[in-house]
Amino acid sequence: MSVFRVNKTTTLETSEITGINRLIVVLMVCFVLSSSFSKIGIFDVINKGIIGMLCLVILGLFFRKRQPRFALLLLSLTALIHVVALAFPVSSKEGIATYFTFAFWVLFWLYVVNNGDEFLAAARSLISGLRGALIVWTIVTLISFFTPVCYKIGWGGGRYFTSFTTDSFEIAPVAMFILALNILLYQFTKDKRFALLFSLVPLACVFAAGTRTYLIVVLVEFVLLLRLLIEKEGQFYFAFAACLIIFIFLASVTNIGLKFASTTLNSNDMNAVLTVFTNGRNRFWAVDFEAYLQGNVFEKLFGHGFSYVYELNQSAIGMRLYAHNDFINILLNFGLSGLILYLAVFLPVIVVARRDNGMIVALLLLVIWLFNAFFNMIYVYIAAVMALGVLSLAISTQRLAAGVGAGNLGQGRVTT
């Protein structure tokens, strides 16, 4: 039974499809490389231009190459809930990214699910360029480790790594993407030494950045790489145990250990412990979810618009911020219809991962998404969304084994 079924394309030649998908691959890598320099103002403008172009290219592909009707229905629903959201009062205090990150989530996953074969074909044809980008990023980031301006003081009292970005939560999604790209390149080349060597700097980034959410996410991502590198289960579990010991030691001797130590308060008050563990998120989660429950039927179905969550948290805790939880944030912005849409475009990826690679790999991919979505938010971080997409395709062993990129283009069909 198909999750999304696509009719064979007859309107575009194979070379044209590959060309469009090559452009998508290049734009994704350029966005991540540009994001690595967000401390320099011009790169923020460049980022917005790249992501706008990427969306237009994907939409152009959708109009040129026939997509499944269900995918077009989901795109139409996305447009509808954005129109409804914009009908509510909109504050000028939010950045432009507030208004398109959810739409990008839907558009991107519809592309991945229905055009993954073509993406892999394009990526395989660009192996040299992708390796070059990975090497350049690694060298630049290594240099930034020894540059004082690439650190800042964060909560917990530590000095945390930002590289040439403005914040730890900007370099961490970039590191997540680079590791996913490394995993994809390993699937193409089977170069174990290269894969292990170029996983070290992304791992170092998340230890030094002090973001507990991304530390867990990237470590699980690395475990996925180990699972691909080591075929025998006994050897894999031994390597996993050894890495776990090393990771615990590294966390204890780096500044991120201060944040983990802060969760072990000398208190019997579980609320106090939970507040520290979630960095205070539980306090406004309760307020946000209660506000959703108190909405009328229309608001429960379609939300309160883009600015509501910011104003709600401003009143509740004196800080203008989003919910730091995908599910609560979407419920407040787009209601239940938005949450169903959010899950509808992503859960097929987990289904396919289980089919292609078994339960262990599917669960690891699920943890990477769910942990980030619940404790921090993922759909608002474009680099993290792209990273998850590249990773989900990199573990598509059936597609890769079928010779995708070697003259055997699929028709974007995902089956279960």
Q: Is residue 416 part of a domain?
A: no
Shortest CA distance to 27 belongs to which of 54, 45, 49, 57?
A: 54
Work out the pLDDT band at 9, boundaries 50, 70, 90: very low
The single-letter code of the amino acid at 116 is: G
- The Cα 35–Cα 189 span in angstroms is 27
Helix (H) or strand (E) holding 380: none
User: How many domains are there within the chain?
Assistant: 1
Q: Is residue 3 part of a domain?
A: no
Whole-number mean pLDDT of the chain?
85
Beta bridge partners of 414: 4
At residue 11, the pLDDT reads: 45
At residue 404, the pLDDT reads: 45
- 116-121 average pLDDT score: 91
Q: Is residue 409 part of a domain?
A: no
Q: Is residue 1 part of a domain?
A: no
pTM above 0.95, yes or no: no
Is the CB of residue 109 less than 8 Å from the CB of residue 389?
Answer: yes
Q: Is residue 171 part of a domain?
A: yes
Contacts of 63 (CB under 8 A, 6+ apart): none
- The lowest-confidence range among 100-114, 232-246, 261-275 is 261-275
**Model confidence pLDDT, tens digit, residues 13-26:** 577 888 999 999 99
At residue 108, the pLDDT reads: 97
CA atoms within 13 A on the CB side of 335: 20
Q: Is residue 273 part of a domain?
A: yes
Sign of CA dihedral 269, 272, 273, 274: positive
- The Cα 79–Cα 257 span in angstroms is 43
Sequence-separated contacts (24+) of 350-358 with Cβ below 8 Å: 351/3, 351/416, 352/3, 352/113, 352/392, 352/396, 352/414, 352/416, 353/392, 353/395, 353/396, 355/398, 355/415, 355/416, 356/395, 356/396, 356/397, 356/398, 356/399, 357/395, 357/397
Domain hosting 144: range is 13-403
For residue 279, report the phi and psi dihedrals to the nearest 5 degrees.
55, 40
CA torsion 232-235-239-242 (nearest 10°) is: 160
**Model confidence pLDDT, tens digit, residues 71-111:** 889 999 999 999 999 999 888 888 888 899 999 999 999 99
Contacts of 367 (CB under 8 A, 6+ apart): 220
Q: Is residue 57 part of a domain?
A: yes
Q: Is residue 280 part of a domain?
A: yes
**Model confidence pLDDT, tens digit, residues 303-355:** 999 999 999 989 888 888 888 999 999 999 999 999 999 999 999 999 888 88
Is the CB of residue 412 less than 8 Å from the CB of residue 61?
Answer: no
Decide which of 97 and 280 is more confident: 97
At residue 111, the pLDDT reads: 95
At residue 289, the pLDDT reads: 92
Does the pLDDT of residue 263 top 60, yes or no? no
For residue 378, report the phi and psi dihedrals to the nearest 5 degrees.
-120, -35
Judged by phi (left if over 0) then psi (alpha if -120 to 50, else beta), residue 318 lies in: left
At residue 271, the pLDDT reads: 56
Work out the pLDDT band at 361, boundaries 50, 70, 90: confident
**Model confidence pLDDT, tens digit, residues 396-415:** 755 554 444 333 323 333 33
Work out the pLDDT band at 139, boundaries 50, 70, 90: very high
Give the DSSP letter of residue 160.
E
At residue 306, the pLDDT reads: 92
**Model confidence pLDDT, tens digit, residues 180-216:** 999 999 999 999 999 999 999 999 999 998 888 899 9
Residue with tokens 């279960």: 416
